[in-house]
Amino acid sequence: MIDRMDTYLFQGKRKKMLEELRHKGIKEEVLTAMFKVPRHVFYDSALVHFAYDENNAFHIGEGQTISRPSTVAIQTELLDIKKGDKVLEIGTGCGYQTAVLLEMGAKVWSIERQSKLYEKTRLFLPQLGYNARFYHGDGYKGLPLQAPFDKIIVTCGAPFIPKDLLLQLKENGGMMVIPVGEGEVQVMNIIVRKTGMEFDKRELGNFKFVPMLKDKR
Ligand code: SAH
């Protein structure tokens, strides 16, 4: 049980991880939010000591992985969160990215396709004081009833950009960060909605995510 506590040892490891991210150019605001979230508590107790290793995208059950620290940092920074932003997250997973978004001051609506992960995380995050709205559903469809969103973050590799999600972005500046690609590697896309069906799109480097799958189970 003691391993789950946020000891000096874990805080030290977290500082070191953040130092590496600082060298990569990640903004202070994002680093501060990531310092507040004890990443190791999202890991099985036998694996906590790997929680702060950059090169590990560890398994969180149901064949899924927690995104590596630099991926979380980059997606968070790209989203340019303003306090009170309404954010839709596709792929709740273990909830680590959700917690970082909440620490940035966002209000988060999060969808997970896997029922077991959904159940686990919906119960676990509030125990850490993180309150988001959790949904067991299909991320391709988004949450039309809760739209529009200031920001949308997709944390699984999408074979294409889902049109339903584009339509749930706020007009005049709503932004989506989504890794797109059918194979093992995806390209990070940053999409900004202008008016109506007009969008700006830019691409930023290659990433590896677990695939965005159809339908819930
Ligand atoms: N942000 C998460 C990343 C988890 S990996 C974390 O830090 O833990 C991506 C997650 O997306 C997995 O949990 C997977 O089950 C989920 N996923 C895959 N396809 C999905 C879909 N269509 N809708 C919602 N979630 C999906």
Q: Which of 133, 124, 85, 135 is nearest to 106 (CA)?
A: 85
The CATH number of the domain where 198 resides is what? 3.40.50.150
Active site residue 67: yes
Let me know if residue 142 belongs to a domain: yes
CA 214 to chain centroid? 19
What is the secondary structure of 69-100 as a DSSP string? HHHHHHHHHHHT--TT-EEEEE--TTSHHHHH
With a 6 Å cutoff on the Cβ, whether 213 touches ligand 1 is yes
Let me know if residue 16 belongs to a domain: no
Let me know if residue 145 belongs to a domain: yes
Let me know if residue 96 belongs to a domain: yes
Q: Which amino acid residue places its CA nearest to atom 14 of ligand 1?
A: 91
Q: Which amino acid residue places its CA nearest to atom 13 of ligand 1?
A: 93
For residue 62, the model assigns a pLDDT of 81
- Per-residue tokens: 131: 């309150």
From 212, 214, 216, give the residue whose CB has the most ligand 1 atoms within 8 Å, as the site to mutate. Answer: 212
pLDDT tens, the chain, 217 aa long: 344 688 899 999 999 999 999 999 999 999 999 999 999 999 887 788 889 987 766 788 888 888 999 999 999 999 999 999 999 999 999 999 999 999 999 999 999 999 999 999 999 999 999 999 999 999 999 999 999 999 999 999 999 999 999 999 999 999 999 999 998 999 999 999 999 999 999 999 999 999 999 877 7
Let me know if residue 165 belongs to a domain: yes
Expressed in angstroms and rounded, the spacing between residue 157 Cα and the centre of ligand 1 is: 9
Q: What domain range includes position 102?
A: 57-207
Q: Which amino acid residue places its CA nearest to atom 10 of ligand 1?
A: 91
With a 6 Å cutoff on the Cβ, whether 57 touches ligand 1 is no
**How many separate domains does the chain show?**
1
With a 6 Å cutoff on the Cβ, whether 157 touches ligand 1 is no
For residue 4, the model assigns a pLDDT of 65
- Per-residue tokens: 157: 């590799």
Q: Which amino acid residue places its CA nearest to atom 20 of ligand 1?
A: 212
Let me know if residue 25 belongs to a domain: no
With a 6 Å cutoff on the Cβ, whether 97 touches ligand 1 is yes
Torsion-angle region of 197 (φ positive above 0: left; ψ -120 to 50: alpha; else: beta): alpha
For residue 43, the model assigns a pLDDT of 87
From 96, 113, 143, 182, give the residue whose CB has the most ligand 1 atoms within 8 Å, as the site to mutate. Answer: 113
Contact 151, 174 (CB under 8 A): yes
Let me know if residue 182 belongs to a domain: yes
Let me know if residue 118 belongs to a domain: yes
With a 6 Å cutoff on the Cβ, whether 210 touches ligand 1 is yes
With a 6 Å cutoff on the Cβ, whether 75 touches ligand 1 is no
Expressed in angstroms and rounded, the spacing between residue 92 Cα and the centre of ligand 1 is: 5
